[in-house]
Amino acid sequence: MGFQEDHIQLIERKRRRRGLYPLIAGFLIIVIIIGSIGVFSFYSRERSIVIIPISGELYTGDVSDAGVSGSAQIGRELINAADDGLVDAIVLRVNSPGGTPAAAQEIIQDLEYARSKKPVVVSIGDMATSAAYYVCAYADRIYANPDSITGGIGTIWIFYDISAWMQKEGYSVTIIKSGESKDMTYPYRSLSSDEESYARELVNRSFERFITDVTVQRNISRSILEDGRLIRGEEAMSVGLVDEMGNLQTAVAGARKLAAER
């Protein structure tokens, strides 16, 4: 009988252990789920604000290095952030003297798409002038430091004439061209009066679009901007080019607030 009782007890212990396995497995699953939620929440908080740098001169194309920002590169980052469900808002960190109007217009198109999905805020570092400010004007809110430099609203086309130096040094150039003004941007001759008038017309048309877009977006008078002057951050806020003084962290906090209000 003793052997039989021992055998029965052994079977009972095995049965109890087998009963514990589902409980232990269930407990482990719960722990894993809770841990996953915690990790996901942490990851979500870390990813909630995306900072996109815009540094150097702006040009069209897919390029990005210390001195140049390409419109395709910036646009792709804007679209990716806009479509990312873990991103609540976007901050553009701008340190740029400007660039081509076409580059700004390409970035603005993608910025408007991003802005239709979530807040886009600008943090101006050292400067955001000319075409760089053109981009900034389309954001929901602009932050700058008291001595950040902005403004410089305008369009410029520079022509060099080294013909006098070439003549002095004995250089000559023979040009075969299909049209009278095909070489108007080359430095070995001066512009004709007709070419100068045409260049001025192109510059003025580009400027008109530029200043109109900025004044509409920021709801400010063009008289403040049309001379192309540079403006310090504090004065920029007083005339409406900037919304608030603050650094990058201030802009990130502002972006979080705008996201929470949506």
Neighbour tally for 80: CB within 10 Å: 13
The answer to whether 148 and 193 have CB atoms below 8 angstroms apart is: no
Rounded to the nearest 5 degrees, what angle is found at the Cα of 201, between the Cα atoms of 149 and 154? 5
Q: Are residues 175 and 98 in the same domain?
A: no
Look up residue 142 and give its DSSP letter: E
Question: d(Cα 262, Cα 241) in Å, to the nearest integer?
Answer: 24
Q: Are residues 105 and 213 in the same domain?
A: no
Question: pLDDT tens-digit profile of 155-179?
Answer: 999 999 999 999 999 999 999 999 9
Q: Are residues 146 and 165 in the same domain?
A: no
Q: What percent of the chain has pLDDT over 70?
A: 82
Question: pLDDT tens-digit profile of 174-214?
Answer: 999 999 999 999 999 999 999 999 999 999 999 999 999 99
**Residue 3 is assigned to a structural domain of this protein:** no
Domain count, the chain: 2
Question: pLDDT tens-digit profile of 49-100?
Answer: 999 999 999 999 998 777 999 999 999 999 999 999 999 999 999 999 999 9
Question: d(Cα 47, Cα 27) in Å, to the nearest integer?
Answer: 30
**How much is the pLDDT for 13?**
59
**Residue 182 is assigned to a structural domain of this protein:** yes
**Residue 221 is assigned to a structural domain of this protein:** yes
State the pTM of this model: 0.81
Q: What is the CA radius of gyration of the chain?
A: 31
Which residue range forms the structural domain that includes residue 196?
A: 153-228
Question: d(Cα 29, Cα 223) in Å, to the nearest integer?
Answer: 67
Q: Are residues 128 and 245 in the same domain?
A: yes
Q: Which two tokens stand for residue 25?
A: 């497995």
Q: Are residues 216 and 117 in the same domain?
A: no
The answer to whether 189 and 162 have CB atoms below 8 angstroms apart is: no
Q: Are residues 129 and 221 in the same domain?
A: no
Q: Are residues 121 and 221 in the same domain?
A: no
**How much is the pLDDT for 262?**
84
Q: Are residues 239 and 114 in the same domain?
A: yes
**How much is the pLDDT for 43?**
35
Q: Are residues 98 and 207 in the same domain?
A: no
Q: Are residues 164 and 131 in the same domain?
A: no
What does the pLDDT average to over 211-219? 97
**How much is the pLDDT for 156?**
96
Q: Are residues 115 and 239 in the same domain?
A: yes
**Average pLDDT value for the chain:** 88
